[in-house]
Chain A
Amino acid sequence: MTDRAFGASIKRKEDPRLITGEARYLEDLNLTGTLHAAILRSPFAHARIKSIDTSKAAAHPGVVAVFTGHDFMDLNPLPAAWVVTGADVHTNTPRALEVEKVTHVGQGVAVVVAEDRYTAQDALGLIHVDWETLPVVVDAKMATEPGAPLVHENAPNNVCLDWSIGDQGATDQALGEADVVVRQSLVNQRLIPNPMEARGCMAQYDPAGQAYTVWMTSQAPHVMRLLMTAFVFGIPENKMRVISPQVGGGFGTKIFLYPEYVLVAALAKKVGAPVKWMETRSENYVATTHGRDHITDIEVGATKDGRIQGLKVHTFANLGGTLSTIATGIPTTLYGRLLSGAYKIPHFYCNVKGVYTNTSMVDAYRGAGRPEATYVVERAMDLVAAELGMDPSEIRRKNFIQPEDFPYAPADNILAGLKYDSGNYEGTLDLALNMVGYEDFRRKQAEARDQGRYLGIGFSSYIEICGVAPSAWIGLPGQGWGAGLWESANVRVHLTGKVVVTTGSQSHGQGLETTFAQIVADELGVPVDDITVEHSDTQGTPFGYGTYGSRSTAVGGIALYNSVQHIKEKAMKLGAYMLEAAEEDVVYDAAEGKVHVKGSPEQAKTIQEIALQAAVAYDLPAGMEAFLDYTSYYDPPNCTYPFGTHVCMVEVDVETGAVKILRYAAADDVGPQINPMIVEGQLHGGIAQGIGQALWEGAVYDERGQLVSGSMMDYSMPKAQFFPAIETGQTVTPSPTNPLGVKGAGEAGTIGAAPAVVNAVMDALSPFGIRHLDMPLTAEKVWRAVQQKGA
């Protein structure tokens, strides 16, 4: 071992099985005698179920059984795991199948279990539901207005939560005293996350042990088991095993407990055979959670020279027809608490109304609240710059939190006691400006305008909250998070010297099997190939809260690091004993994977020799237990705060309104990088999704609550040919929060990208006097704005 494993762009351990098609996704799993479920979903956005006639479907050849919601009344409704204070009396969650009424298109009301999935699908057409349709509301702001249709009796005006942070009086005063105040309404449109693999579930019930085994496409199998057993089924946790097989992406949508998982597990017991359900893409569009969907009014005040004095934010957050698992936490804690961005802003006030509408559930989608906050802050910076005639890079520079200000607590306690850990925001801005040749671009832009061509440049100096944890913070009284957020890791060095890691984190595309192995290899001095990382099975892995919020490395990775430290301590004790040296006279050489006598590297025992001795245990120091095996539980004292500056250059074809991205440069600081290639991949994917939101994506409902953008023929997924090569650059500012200094990189791209693109387009359109257009910046929207202003 000479090159450090930490920081090496080694190829991913998981890729051979993925590339060769050997990986086993849920769709690849089959047990003998598996039956297939198909779910009858509501075609209406808001309707009462008067009656359901399943008799014809039940008589259809090949159908084993047909059930409705009445058959599952022994199961509780799904739990809301994050209930912001005040929302508790307005909580409405789905059941396995809805019984009385539906509140969005796509809610399940009946299920067919058949010998094959084609037959199950055929039989759905034979079920007759007598519906009584009800008035529909889809827009979150309109839903709160007098006379709007009421989605749930227990939520007057459709308001589920009304949440405020900051200092309203001080902010009003700051705005009153500011030289300029800019007001703007911003829509952060609803997105459909579209992981490559849709959701699915397979379950088997063992009557002898009275226990369920449930395979599901989950980012958080331990949490799924907890929620299903303790909250829905009312059975002990040890009566259910949850396994996530290979999971093909989630982007947040696979964190949550969904009705189908509960339903399929219950069906397996009812029909006495394994039951499988695999979501179709059409179902995914209506039955899986959506993201974003905020309508926001901002007021931002500044001095003449561009110092921001206060930011006031009112947001209507659309939560959908029922609450998904952590729906209320996303537009509150993960949104409002980030509104200081990278800047020293003296005063804040933020009010969020979480609103029920007759639309699909809304919950975390890559970035989860933080892209929405960053969009507010980064658009606010540009709007003030435009008002003052300032350069957008200068206004950022003028307001940045400076390196000496860390740890930094955003004003008015909006971060609820935590402080930004570390940062050098100007460093990434300078790097980004150098990468794109800013001065040169401004020259070209002026020349182009003379020729009637419209180029623009946009910045986004984002920060994000990653490594989402401190249990004591997220679980503060009034926050509503109903659990902790620590992580765990077990490390065992087997007698052959091979290492097995089990983790409560879950990998669904992040490459954790590789990066976690690199952490162990780097600390223990064993080859990466000798390390296996096992995850995603509640049987055999220690409890963990799952993978989301860019938290697996900064929380789960540190639990792993800590376990390795304990292994090393024991190895040094045993190594010293084997070398007949005193414990204080030996050192652990992580580069070589050896314990040796200080000053005498040749007097050494390899970790493999020590592991063998520990395992066979013929000759151990007095009192020492056999085997090198340790489990750590890590609950960090703070979140981590990655940051960066993204720069986008565009050209707008004013004849058509089409926006073309000329260059995209991302200067990111995610702390030390364990595998830079994986980090870069995460950034590319995130940036693609952020650009997708800025220019193309958007869920569209009609006034009847039908999802008009209900397929990939209608919903504008970003495609590879839409993008230029993404340029990336890094600075490295370690987090003082954890021993590896790592911060997290899973969401940075998504958080940084959308405002950079929108700011660039607005810069291009500035000669027309256009200050703001809402996303997505479709060709027609841009064309209309130019027609209106240019005429």
Chain B
Amino acid sequence: MYPGKFDYVRAGSVAEAVTLLASHENARLLAGGHSLLPAMKLRVDMPATLIDIGRIPELKGISGGNGSVRIGALATHAEVAASEHVPAAVRDAAGQIGDPQVRNRGTIGGSIAHADPAADMPTPLVALDATLHLTGPDGDRSVAATDFFIGLFETAKQPGEVLVAVEVQANDVSAYVKMANPASGYAMVGASAVLAMDGSVCKSAAVAVGGVTTLAIRTPSVEAALVGSTLDATAIEAAARAVQNDLGSDIMEDIHASAEYRKAMATVYVKRALAGAVARA
């Protein structure tokens, strides 16, 4: 539990962080440190330099208006969970990450950039079609959440880039539910549902599942089954079962949940996410 030797520098701005990333070999960005530091203590991760971005003012804060919300990368899970601007599904996810200490230190940007397949936050962001804003040596760019997550701990963020903010459309007819790993608290199965209603009829639906495969994925079969439905219990049940068409064959497995169980629970938790979103309609 003693990390290897590393240097530490602090960035005062995003521009400075980008410059520091360019000038340091094997450097890692340090935000809340809640994934990075444990990995360093186990010497699984041995960066030469930590670039601390934890105090950069422009990365902080949550601002909403005109139906959309911008969440700074340094917003803590506790801040996200308590924000009235943030869609309900994102609040649900943030409020279930770790424990109060973790939620007070861990950041949304850190969680997204780390891209743990069992993390909570990617799932609602994929369901909500969130946009991720990055700054790098070539300037700013935006990536859709569905394109950002590529695989196990793998994202579209280039080594020289800093994740600056998450932008997402406000929608409180949404929910995130999970079956927590009893040891780590991470999602063995997480599901998020985002609905748009036209009276009692579902106009559009976006459903994502995390923790089951190597990254959070959208579930087109479920979504197709929902559109035009009145979302009664039978319709939800049938739509949830359709998730089995979308999971593929690469299902994660560990000592806490087999692949077969994760698959079966995907149906249950999609159903519960849908019921949660419907209850907020």
Contact = CB atoms under 8 A, between A and B. Distances in A.
B183 A779 contact: no
> Considering the complex of A and B, which 4 residue pairs feature the smallest CB-CB distances, nearest first?
A280-B1, A716-B182, A716-B183, A121-B2
B93 to A, nearest CB: 17
A696 B182 contact: yes
9 contacts: A708-B255, A713-B183, A714-B184, A716-B183, A779-B257, A780-B257, A780-B261, A783-B261, A784-B261
A783 B264 contact: yes
B179 A709 contact: no
B137 interface: no
Interface in A754-788: 778-780, 783-784
Interface string A708-726: 1100111111010000000
Interface in A245-303: 280-282
B71 to A, nearest CB: 26
A495 interface: no
Contact of B183 (A281, A695, A712): A712
A778 B182 contact: yes
A237 interface: no
A441 interface: no
A617 B182 CA distance: 66
Given A700-B255, A708-B255, A783-B261, A656 B183 contact: no
Interface in B248-281: 254-258, 261, 264-265, 268
A438 B3 CA distance: 55
A406 interface: no
Nearest to B4: A122
Contacts of B2: 117-118, 121, 280
Contacts of B261: 779-780, 783-784
Contacts of B235: none
A74 interface: no
Interface string B25-57: 000000000000000001000000000000000
A118 B5 contact: yes
A715 B255 CA distance: 10
Nearest to B184: A713
Interface of A: 117-118, 121-122, 280-282, 655-656, 658, 695-696, 700, 708-709, 712-717, 719, 778-780, 783-784
A208 to B, nearest CB: 34
B256 A778 contact: yes
A113 to B, nearest CB: 15
A655 B177 CA distance: 15
Contact of B268 (A281, A655, A695, A784): A655
Contacts of B254: 714
Contacts of A778: 182, 256
Contact of B255 (A118, A280, A709, A783): A709
B238 to A, nearest CB: 16
B137 to A, nearest CB: 33
Contacts of B268: 655-656
A540 B34 CA distance: 45
A714 B268 CA distance: 24
A715 B183 contact: yes
Given A778-B182, A779-B179, A714 B255 contact: yes
A282 B261 CA distance: 29
B44 to A, nearest CB: 11
Contacts of B264: 783
Contacts of B182: 695-696, 716, 778
A282 B184 contact: no
Contacts of A121: 2
Interface string B179-203: 1001110000000000000000000
Contacts of B184: 712-714
B183 A714 contact: yes
B152 to A, nearest CB: 16
Nearest to B271: A655
Nearest to B262: A780
Given A118-B5, A122-B4, 14 more contacts: A117-B2, A118-B3, A118-B4, A121-B2, A122-B5, A280-B1, A280-B2, A696-B182, A700-B255, A708-B255, A712-B183, A714-B183, A716-B183, A779-B261
A27 to B, nearest CB: 12
Nearest to B269: A656
Contacts of A779: 179, 257, 261
Contacts of A117: 2
A281 B1 CA distance: 8
Nearest to A36: B2
B101 to A, nearest CB: 13
Contacts of A656: 179, 265, 268
A696 B181 CA distance: 10
Contacts of B42: 282
A449 B179 CA distance: 24
Interface string B109-151: 0000000000000000000000000000000000000000000
Nearest to A658: B179
A238 B258 CA distance: 57
A656 B189 CA distance: 11
A695 B255 CA distance: 14
Contacts of A282: 1, 42
A530 to B, nearest CB: 40
B183 A717 contact: yes
Contacts of A700: 255
A117 B4 CA distance: 11
A170 B51 CA distance: 75
B25 to A, nearest CB: 19
A741 to B, nearest CB: 41
Contacts of B5: 118, 122
Interface string B1-30: 111110000000000000000000000000
A46 to B, nearest CB: 21
In this complex, the member of B2, B258, B264, B268 whose beta carbon has the largest number of chain A beta carbons within 10 angstroms is: B2
Contacts of A712: 183-184
A784 B179 CA distance: 16
Nearest to A122: B4
Nearest to A702: B255
A709 B256 CA distance: 10
A716 B257 CA distance: 13
A539 to B, nearest CB: 32
Contacts of B256: 714, 716, 778, 780
Contacts of A714: 183-184, 254-256
Interface in B155-210: 179, 182-184
In this complex, the member of B3, B4, B264 whose beta carbon has the largest number of chain A beta carbons within 10 angstroms is: B264
A297 to B, nearest CB: 25
B258 A780 contact: yes
Contacts of A695: 182
A280 B258 CA distance: 30
A695 B183 CA distance: 12
A52 B261 CA distance: 45
Nearest to B264: A783
B106 to A, nearest CB: 15
A714 B181 CA distance: 9
B50 to A, nearest CB: 15
A696 B256 CA distance: 10
A59 B162 CA distance: 40
A779 B188 CA distance: 11
Nearest to A714: B183
Nearest to B1: A280
Nearest to A781: B261
Contacts of B255: 700, 708-709, 714
A696 B182 CA distance: 7
Contacts of A708: 255
A564 to B, nearest CB: 46
